[in-house]
Structure 1
């Protein structure tokens, strides 16, 4: 495969906490695989907050990133859709409302007056959708819970509920299901209270610093990953089937939710 360009400058790939912090060895292996395919060093850049990765991307300080569909739809005029992971055979995921495994809470409205953990203000599954869900029931998401806090990441939301630091949380279904494989003891301390409709899976996008030629190459590399034995092994570690090519309208449902919440708030 033709290299991106004859340069030792790394391809800077931003990650939010969709990949747990303890996967350093895995990330090194994935970086090596991408570098072998495209002939350019790869450097993963991790941040705990979605906004930090988005700012780096828009400022051209990183080249591409794996982000949530919510910041993507708000900035898609500046971002290029590179590829979308396929999880359990489809480019879709859900928001899971979770509570402690032994909690007496049986339905969403039982969380009223309780302590709740948001994942991140730029997360669809961990912030936008749960607020939309409550608003659709005529509840004010800013008053429904006794107190809320940001855990800054879906794995940390799961930990907060498992450890009794929060009565409930809303988390990315992919993260919860993947933790069920890698950290089963943690997941058995929680249970799913309610599942959302399906949304477009968090995409890999390019920022303004990545040329069209470079975008096409990294897209080909990711789309072909499932066909390479080493690449497929890495996908298995990620609990993903493959990367696919999807149209931007995959995220229109998220855009509609965001618009309705904005209208409802009078903003």
Structure 2
């Protein structure tokens, strides 16, 4: 989920460490390298998926029958607490907006309508003040958090919700871009994007995957990899925490705001 160009070497090193341990544990047909595809939903549905990462919102809405949760990463970025993270609500640094109420009637940038941090959590924050009416003049789909950030920084949109882990990476690699926006709030915290495996993966392999992650979390020699990815560990048995994402959706609908609009 955070495979930025600048992070690809660390992401690859992270996978190689996992793959090596899986092979040492006796697993066969472990991919030597990651499969990178724009068809992420197809990858999530693949019955042979061994290991991947998914946004929790589409997972509980559409993919519960196709995947099972392996673990939830614990990120060390600002805005994270334990295995939970949040969205930052950002506006152009030159704008006069100070609160969400100030952006009524403006243009909202959303990475995807099936994004928890880009849409679901923003909708939840807008619902109590929308009064069951359209809140934004328009909502534009950008395709990624980075493009939403660019849209706000360049004045093509007035507000966006950016996942705090993504924002931390953007601050590190593109400070000249993040300096052109300001935070006017943050969302409630929810479980970070989980690592997943196919539903058909048997319990024995699932156990090995979790044991391997526990080892990778503390293994000497991987400190720089973990630091680059902002990973501080992994939480297990978090399935129920993702059901909360649907409750957040339902609460917005109960307030007369079922869609971000």
**TM-score category of the 2 structures, normalised to the smaller one:** 0.7 to 0.9
Residue of structure 2 aligned with 1:54, choices 8, 21, 41? 41
Please list every run of 5 or more consecutive structure 2 residues that lacks an aligned counterpart in the other structure: 24-29
- 1:225/1:243 contact within 8 Å kept: no
Alpha-carbon displacement from aligned partner over 1:101-158 (angstroms, at most 9, x marks no partner): 22111111221222211021111110112122222223457x3222221111212211
Contact 2:48–2:198 at 8 Å: present in 1 too? no
Shift of residue 198 of structure 1? Answer: 1.2
Q: How far apart are residue 236 of structure 1 and its match?
A: 0.6
Residue 120 of structure 1 aligns to a residue whose secondary structure is coil
> What TM-score results when the alignment is normalised by the length of structure 2?
0.84
Task: Give CA-to-partner distance per residue, 1:24-46, whole Å, 9 cap, x none.
Answer: 32333223222222123343233
Relative contact order, higher structure (CA 8 A, sep 6+): 2
1:58-92 residue CA offsets vs partner (Å, 9 max, x unmatched): 23263332111212222334421101111236101
For the structure 1 residues 68 and 155, does the alpha-carbon distance in structure 2 shift closer, same or farther, using more than 3 Å as the test? same
| Contact residue 106 and residue 138 of structure 2 kept, 8 A | yes
Q: Which runs of 5+ in 1 are unaligned?
A: 1-15
Q: Does 1:175 align with 2:136?
A: no
Alignment check: 8 A CA contact 1:53 1:65 kept: no
In the other structure, the counterpart of 1:95 is: 87
Give the one of 61, 64, 76 matched to 1:76. Answer: 64
Alignment counterpart, residue 65 of structure 1, candidates 52, 59, 82: 52
Q: Size of the alignment, in residue pairs?
A: 247
CA 1:164–1:193 in structure 2 vs 1: closer, same or farther (change >3 Å)?
A: same
Aligned to 2:219: 228
Cα distance in 1 for residues equivalent to 2:21 and 2:163: 30
1:229 is paired with a residue whose SS is coil
Checking the alignment, whether the CA contact within 8 Å between 1:34 and 1:221 is kept in structure 2 is: yes
- CA distance in 2 between partners of 1:42 and 1:259 (Å): 41
1:244–1:230 distance in 2 versus 1, CA, 3 Å: farther
1:246 counterpart (208, 216, 237): 237
CA distance in 1 between partners of 2:147 and 2:220 (Å): 32
* 2: CA distance, partners of 1:157 / 1:266: 22
> How does the TM-score come out when normalised to structure 1?
0.82
Change (3 A) 1:54 1:223: farther
